[in-house]
Chains A and B, each alone.
Chain A
């Protein structure tokens, strides 16, 4: 079946511009996560959506970052006024449920963002 998809796969943008990254989770998965992976670093948690609950935004690094999710489907991560330090691979993952099954995350291929 279809896995988690992300678009675009690569994005090059100029410093100061806004970007929007998209994630299509596996159908029926209630939980959705965004992570950032800078070169040579581990995965950094950004935000977590679970069903209709308020999202956990505790990992967003600044107010330039925001994310939305439509019901239990598509999510978009928006970065406003991009900075060079935003350059990273942004990974999306979905999970069948929340509590107790968070480890069963299915990852997308990622979006490589380069800010010039």
Chain B
């Protein structure tokens, strides 16, 4: 079955420290993966897609097919990065979401 696993419910990181939010997937085809973010009192929004290989707000994510992972990384955390992050997989135009990781940036 296709699924997305985010093993950490909560991740606390000091400001200025590196951030890595883990995401593993299972999918039999060629995966299309995304990271979504929800800031406090805001709507869920797309952060980045692996096919565009972009860096948004300093975040990057590399698809590792060997490890079936799509971890989200940022070298230096900022307080405004505190939010809920969801990893997601496109399965036949339906988006399968992980359970999310709450990132808490400590001052």
Contacts and interface: CB of A to CB of B under 8 A. Distances in A.
Given A48-B93, A102-B90, A103-B90, A42 B98 contact: yes
Contacts, number: 56
B46 A105 contact: yes
A92 B34 CA distance: 18
B85 to A, nearest CB: 11
A12 to B, nearest CB: 21
Nearest to A101: B93
B93 A42 contact: no
29 contacts: A31-B93, A33-B94, A33-B95, A35-B97, A41-B99, A42-B6, A42-B97, A42-B99, A42-B100, A43-B44, A43-B95, A45-B94, A45-B95, A45-B96, A45-B97, A56-B94, A58-B94, A93-B44, A99-B93, A102-B32, A102-B90, A103-B32, A103-B46, A103-B95, A107-B43, A107-B44, A107-B45, A108-B43, A110-B43
A91 B44 contact: yes
A11 B49 CA distance: 34
Closest 4 CB pairs of A and B: A42-B99, A43-B97, A107-B44, A42-B97
B93 A109 contact: no
Contacts of B98: 42
Interface residues of B, number: 20
Interface string B26-50: 0000001010000000011110010
B95 A42 contact: no
Interface string A14-42: 00000000000000000101010000111
Nearest to B48: A103
B25 to A, nearest CB: 13
Given A44-B97, A103-B49, A108-B43, 11 more contacts: A33-B94, A42-B6, A42-B86, A43-B97, A45-B95, A48-B94, A102-B94, A103-B90, A105-B46, A107-B43, A107-B44
Interface string A82-115: 0000000001010000110011111111100000
Contacts of B96: 45
